[in-house]
Amino acid sequence: MPSPPLPTDELLQLDRQHAWHPYASAVEPPAVYPVVAARGVRLQLADGRELIDGTSSWWSALHGYNHPVLNAAAHDQLARMSNVMFGGLTHPAAVKLCTLLARLTPAALNRVFLCDSGSVAVEIAIKMALQFWQAQGRADKCRLLTVRSGYHGDTFMAMSVCDPVDGMHQLFGGILPRHYFADKPSPRFGETCGEHDLASLRQVLAAHDDIAAVIIEPIVQGAGGMHFYSADYLRGVRELCDRHGVLLICDEIATGFGRTGKLFACEHAGISPDILCVGKAITGGYLSLAATLCTDAVAAGICGGGAGALMHGPTFMGNPLACAIACASIELLISQPWQRAVAAIENRLRIELEPAREFQGVADVRVLGAIGVIEMKNPIAVASVQDRFVQRGLWVRPFGNLIYTMPPFIIDDADLTTLARGMVAVAAELGA
């Protein structure tokens, strides 16, 4: 039988002694809020309070929590098998998921490599690009090109293509592999992009013939600043990659599965990359899973080299439980009018967040799909601001100078209004 739950005071004491939370000190641990249950868009705290979740568990819980369809998929797969190695074996859940992803992602991405997390998906994408060029006899093509204000994960190669100046990984600058950085895309989403807007990227590509691939977050630069940029710019990136003979990697870990109003953000520009990374929302927030997709040409190029295979193989690759839940989550999403739900969220956020634009301490307000952002002029004290939201019955976790929401798609109008108005109220307190 399961052990009885720990008293809250004891739980928090043990947490402070042993648990090391993300981006937090282990010596002076931050205040944390014990969650005992979650359902729909609400988190239930140990003291009985309920919080409307505005972050979808770091952008992953599209369908909210405790969804009966995903629960059923988990129970059914558990009754069959929870895990089996993917080396030399296969199983229905993984095959079904790979087939779904190949069908739904932009054209020509037919090969699917399953993995554990978004950062690992980026590592694999970079490894694919480097191994592709090695197999073509171009081992000199070993550098990456990206744009400033990007974020691609916390593992080492992923960190090396995050913003080296304003990103969260500056202290590793002397250790990480060196890559090339072009200017951050300047035209905003919905604006046209001129030749001058691509000048920085074009100049770097023209000056260096050792570039294996360009890696970019399509349309939305997520943890690097929640910047929404022009679809024209992304089309220009694709054209420049083709012109200079380099691969294009699109990191859709944050944007995939409908978050921007398109199933994948690449669709805003009508382009398809050579390599695509997906993760976060792939299982609806139930289990960690990600995938790196590539074209048949990239796969053939890699496998035609001396190794004869992509040299990567996670222990839990193709985990049946995660794959079964992912299939259920994706099928649930596409079986419903999700575009209408995202459009409704976008419309409500535009209306409710707009008053914040008038506050002296606010630099910008922007909304795209199911993403709403209030950008403050000054950095935010995360712990104290987070507590302000908890006191309002909301779970919003700001970072840098951003108060943002990426709510579950199932959120209703009343809860979304409460969430957005709470964001505006906190922004007013910080900088009216």
Residue 59 lies in a domain: yes
Q: Which helix (H) or strand (E) holds 115?
A: strand 111-115
CA distances 225 to 89, 94, 200, 432, Å, are 41, 34, 20, 22
For residue 169, the model assigns a pLDDT of 85
Q: What integer pLDDT is reported at residue 431 of this predicted model?
A: 81
Distance CA 81, CA 217 (A): 35
For residues 83 and 163, membership in a common domain is answered with: yes
Of all helices (H) and strands (E), which one includes residue 144? strand 143-147
Q: Is the dihedral of CA 98, 103, 107, 108 positive or negative?
A: positive
Do residue 294 and residue 399 come from a single domain?
Answer: no
Structural domain contains residue 144: yes
- Assign 326 to helix, strand or coil: helix
pLDDT of res. 276: 98
Mean pLDDT (whole number) for 263-277: 98
Q: Look at residue 7 and tell me if it is in a domain.
A: no
Longest dimension (CA), the chain: 66
180 and 210 both lie in a single domain = yes
Cβ within 8 Å of residue 256, ≥6 positions away: 263, 264, 265, 278, 279, 280, 281, 282
> Average pLDDT of 226-230?
98
Residues 59, 118, single domain; the answer is no
Question: In 3D, which of 172, 175, 177 has the Cα closest to residue 215?
Answer: 177
The mean pLDDT of the chain is 97
Distance (Å, rounded) from C-alpha 120 to C-alpha 9? 36
pLDDT digits (tens, 9 = 90+) for 311-369: 999 999 999 999 999 999 999 999 999 999 999 999 999 999 999 999 999 999 999 99
The verdict on 323 and 208 lying in the same domain is yes
The whole-angstrom separation of Cα 294 and Cα 277 is 9
Q: How far apart (Å, rounded) are the C-alpha atoms in residues 361 and 431?
A: 4
Residues 275 and 364 in one domain: no
Please state the domain count of the chain.
2
| Residue 217 CB burial class (10 angstroms; 0-12, 13-18, ≥19) | buried
What mean pLDDT do residues 115-131 have? Answer: 98
pLDDT band at 70 (very low <50, low <70, confident <90, very high): very high
Domain closes at, from 279, 307, 334: 334
Instruction: Tell me whether residue 81 is in a domain.
Output: yes
Residues 371 and 324 in one domain: no
Q: 4 versus 288: which is more confidently predicted?
A: 288
Least confidently predicted of 22-31, 199-208, 289-298, 358-367: 22-31
Domain that holds residue 426: 33-66+337-431
User: pLDDT, tens digit, for every residue of 402-420?
Assistant: 999 999 999 999 999 999 9
Active-site entry in 251, 262, 286, 404: 251
Give yes or no: residues 321 and 409 share one domain.
no
pLDDT at 173: 84
Q: Which phi and psi angles does 116 have, rounded to 5°?
A: -100, -35
Strand partners, 98: none
pLDDT recorded at residue 4:
83
Residue type at 367? V
The average pLDDT across 254-275 equals 98
H-run or E-run covering 212: strand 211-216
Assess whether 151 carries a catalytic annotation. yes
Q: What pLDDT, in 10s, does the model give residues 90-113?
A: 999 999 999 999 999 999 999 999
**DSSP three-state, residue 66:** coil
Per-residue confidence (pLDDT) for residue 432, from 0 to 100: 63
Contact 133, 212 (CB under 8 A): yes
Residue 261 structure tokens: 């109003």
Query: Cα–Cα distance between 86 and 432 in angstroms, integer?
Result: 55
* 243 and 351 both lie in a single domain: no
Q: Are residues 110 and 192 in the same domain?
A: yes
Over residues 300-310, the pLDDT tens digits come to 999 999 999 99
Question: Where a domain ends, among 311, 334, 357?
Answer: 334
Q: For 172, which DSSP code?
A: G
Looking at the fold, whether 317 and 377 belong to one and the same domain comes out as no
Question: 232 pLDDT exceeds 90?
Answer: yes
Q: Which of 331, 334, 411, 330 has its CA nearest to residue 370?
A: 411
> Would residue 178 count as lying in a domain?
yes
**Which CATH number goes with the domain that contains 374?**
3.90.1150.10
Please report the pLDDT score of residue 166 as a whole number: 82
Residue 17 lies in a domain: no
Query: Kind and range of the H or E element at 68?
Result: helix 68-80
**What is the rounded average pLDDT of the residues 226-236?**
98
Which of 287, 318, 334 delimits the end of a domain?
334
Identify the residue whose tokens are 């691509």.
198
Q: Does residue 5 sit within a domain? A: no
Q: Is 280 an active-site residue?
A: yes
Query: Which one of the listed residues 280, 286, 404, 415 is annotated catalytic?
Result: 280
In a domain, 27, yes or no: no
Which structure tokens are listed for 149? Answer: 């204000």
- For residue 380 the two structure tokens come to 């935010």
How many residues are recorded in the chain?
432
Closest CA to 22 of 33, 14, 11, 30: 30
Looking at the structure, tell me whether residues 324 and 345 fall in a common domain. no
CATH number at residue 81: 3.40.640.10
- Nearest one of 262, 424, 254, 230 to 343, comparing CA atoms: 262
Angle at 358 between CA 356 and CA 361, to 5 degrees: 75
Catalytic residue among 53, 141, 151, 163: 151
Strands of the sheet containing 211-216, edge to edge, are 111-115, 290-294, 275-278, 247-251, 211-216, 143-147, 180-182
| pLDDT tens profile 171-212 | 898 899 999 999 999 999 999 999 999 999 999 999 999 999
Q: CB neighbours (10 Å) of residue 105?
A: 24
